[in-house]
Amino acid sequence: MNNSTIKNTLITIVGPTAIGKTALSIKLANTFSSDIISCDSRQFFKEMNIGTAVPDKDELAAATHHFIQNISIFEEYSVGQFEKDALKKLDSLFEKNPIQIMVGGSGLYVDAVLKGLDYFPEVSPEIRTNLNNELIEKGLESLQLKLKDLDLETYSKITLDNPKRVTRALEICIGTGKTYSSFINKPKAPRNFNSVVIGLSADREVLYDRINQRVDIMIENGLVEEAQKLHQHKELNALKTVGYRELFNYFEGNFTKEFAVSEIKKNTRRFAKRQGTWFRRDKNILWFDYQTDVQKIISDIKNKI
């Protein structure tokens, strides 16, 4: 391949947790002499290592990675900020090589880079505070009814049992005087690169077995001790995630250790299922079984570039 004739292309690897995305990304990065952009939102945080399956030292040394343990759990970091940071990084990387790699299972973060996010105006933080107080005092149903009155379209589409989503929609409605739905699916800024998206898959039984084995390895490698150090900060958003949340319950006497581990496995399997549902919506993804020979994947990528 003659790099001088190739348009900037971002090869993105997606799929459920524990499917082998990291290993494939390193092989592709070495093949195309590329860096790797990580868009796994759990791996951004310095303090979270074992429970987020951060690439190990050998993997990090095998290719240059970006957005791995680059911020602290004490910092606020949004998907919108990641979109800006990742696009800026890609601009500099494309100056060196027209082919770059991105990898991760965080569907919203992948979409932010490849497609762009919907734009919402800034609204007063006081609105969210008031809504959160109403949630505590009157319950979720009160907010649901308010959303139904202000924005029936959003009410009929979003997951109504998710207080975060209901509150977010309401604060936009109240803060702007417009419906939340009026800001959705507007034209996005075009990207200055082509996109090739590779998806890895496996039979459910195989994937679930890989997940169970990974959790067992995390426990052996010290996940309980890592979570114990972070327990005092459990209210931070970064720590309200699978692997830590269950162990916090163990530390507080709500779970036995064995039950906490079984819950981590169960909740990780549920997470993998949600990842699969998210990515299967995109008909442009090229899907491969996780055991597919890498040369076959490389060949298909080259045909797309």
Q: Which residues pair with 233 in a beta bridge?
A: none
Q: Are 44 and 128 in contact (CB under 8 A)?
A: no
15 is in an annotated binding site: yes
Q: Is 116 annotated as a binding residue?
A: no
Establish whether 163 is an annotated binding residue.
no
18 is in an annotated binding site: yes
Residues 6+ apart with CB under 8 A from 289: 200, 201, 202
**Residues 1-17, buried b or exposed e (16+ Cβ, 10 A)?**
eeeeeeebbbbbbbbbb
**Hey, what amino acid is at 84?**
K
Is 260 known as a binding-site position? no
Helix (H) or strand (E) holding 13: strand 9-14
3-state secondary structure of 161: coil
20 is in an annotated binding site: yes
- Has 272 been labeled as part of a binding site? no
- Please state, as a whole number, how many other Cβ atoms lie within 10 Å of the Cβ of residue 79: 15
Binding-site members are 15-22
Binding-site members for substrate are 17-22
Binding-site members for ATP are 15-22
